[in-house]
Amino acid sequence: MNIFSKEYAKSLDQQDELAHFREEFYLKEGRIYLDGNSLGLLSKRAERAVLDLLHSWKDYGIDGWTQGKHPWFYLSELLGEKMITLTGATAEEMIVTGSTTSNLHQLVASFYQPKGQRTKILADELTFPTDIYALKSQLRLRGYDPAEHLVLVESEDGRMLKEEAIIAEMTEEVALIILPGVLYRSGQVLDMEQLTKAAHERGIWIGFDLCHSIGSIPHELSNWEVDFAFWCNYKHLNGGPGSTAALYVNKRHFGQAPGLAGWFGSKKDTQFDMTLELDHAEHAGAYQMGTPHILSTAPLLGALELFNEAGIDRIRKKSLQLTNYMMELIEHELVEFDFTIANPRNDQQRGGHLFLEHVEAARICKALKEHGIIPDFRAPNGIRLAPVALYNTFEDVWNTVHILKTIMETEQYKQYKNERDVVA
């Protein structure tokens, strides 16, 4: 069978052991959704979980904090338990709380402890900008000039980073390291185990932003001895727009007081004593601050069920098959249209999405949407395509590439302005 034929794509779908999970999601007819690395689709179980928690408010009122199927007071810890297989961490090392940025602020406030010549924070120039904004503000709050005390590892090609270059910047002046698990543009997977080992050999604490890796690749945070990590839950984990985020703190740091204190970081049995001295939890729960956002947390109850049933190893296997297949089709069908595949080709280094570069990227994305293909544009010339293992098919991939070929052959993209929309 011709591997570039639609029949071949359909044959791959017939062999797909995760195919039945597609029925769990709300998929719009005539649309191929390839933006799950920005916002995952709604699952029926996530919807049901929201309605269940909404009804617990209706049925119990204030007693919903301690009564019902999922008492709100313990919901953040319960969801931490459901993330064990995704993170390779223990339940006590994780808590669902806050947002990506607020959790980063909390963790830097807790783990950035400048002393002597160790005053600098090491990050990279390709990370998602919110991380840099947060790091600069934390430095200013401590009285340090970010221009001098924030060190950014440079990329040779503007797409990827070399672990060796990162390690070379781990000098005696560095007090803390913050890096992405997967780069948000190119989808490159960094070797978190190697980088953690190198940091610890030099006496430096290290944390990772897992926003683009959680739910798309396996992690072994505890075994790697990562000091801390933080992530959103609305991309690959399908927790819904603005869903509550999560963080991880390695158990060897338990007992350390949080840098930013709040009453939900208390021990559960003493929280309502209402003393003016924080009796903080002896686990990751200490890093909570305010009252949890129950209705923004609720979708995760259903969403994480699907991940635990499918298994992150099977999800990763299919994800790699989908992206490999898409690259093969792109190279076969689009060779004359000046696309550059700017993501890693190597399976170990590639996350859950592809990154194409083209001078007309913004226009092309608009044309794709007109044809029911939902991509993601990244200025100035990037197109991210994320075929998601739980709800995308090999036939989706085949159709996408052939629709893109038609758009390029007929120059349909030229009817649009080559500029991003307000939200990209």
Q: What is the DSSP string of 179-239?
A: EESB-TTT-BBP-HHHHHHHHHHTT-EEEEE-TTTTTTS---HHHHT--EEEE-SSSTT--
70-97 tens-digit pLDDT: 999 999 999 999 999 999 999 999 999 9
Considering the domain architecture, whether residues 59 and 186 belong to the same structural domain is answered as yes
Q: Is the distance from CB of 209 to CB of 179 less than 8 angstroms?
A: yes
Do 323 and 372 lie in one domain? The reply is: yes
pTM comes to 0.97
- Phi, psi of 260, deg, nearest 5: -115, 110
Residues 103 and 180 in one domain: yes
Residue 273: its pLDDT value, please?
96
DSSP output for 175-188: EEEEEESB-TTT-B
Domain boundary among 259, 279, 309: 309
Are 211 and 338 part of one and the same domain? no
Are residue 325 and residue 276 in the same domain, yes or no? no
In the chain, % of residues over pLDDT 90: 98
The number of folded domains in the chain is 2
Where does the pLDDT of residue 420 fall: very low under 50, low under 70, confident under 90, or very high at 90 and above? confident
Q: Is the pLDDT of residue 423 over 80?
A: no
Out of 309, 334, 354, a domain closes at 309
Confidence of residue 422 (pLDDT cuts 50, 70, 90): confident
| Average pLDDT of the chain, as a whole number | 97
Binding-site annotation, residues for pyridoxal 5'-phosphate: 100-101, 128-131, 209, 212, 234, 263, 291
181 and 158 in a common domain: yes
For the chain, the C-alpha Rg in angstroms (whole number) is 22
Residues 234, 335, single domain; the answer is no
Pick the last residue of a domain from 277, 309, 341. Answer: 309
What confidence score (pLDDT) does residue 100 get? 98
Lowest mean pLDDT among 173-177, 213-217, 388-392, 414-418: 414-418
Regarding whether 333 and 189 lie in a shared domain, the answer is no
CATH of the domain at 218: 3.40.640.10
Provide the residue range defining the domain that includes 316: 6-30+312-415
User: CATH no. for residue 358?
Assistant: 3.90.1150.10
- Burial class from Cβ neighbours inside 10 Å (0-12, 13-18, 19+) for residue 148 reads exposed
**1 touches 11 (CB < 8 A):** yes
Q: Provide the annotated binding site.
A: 100-101, 128-131, 209, 212, 234, 263, 291
- 249: exposed, middle or buried (C-beta count within 10 Å: 0-12, 13-18, 19+)? buried
Average pLDDT on 310-314 reads: 98
Q: Which amino acid is at 390?
A: L
Q: How far is CA 107 from the centre of its chain?
A: 17
Give the pLDDT of residue 424.
Answer: 77
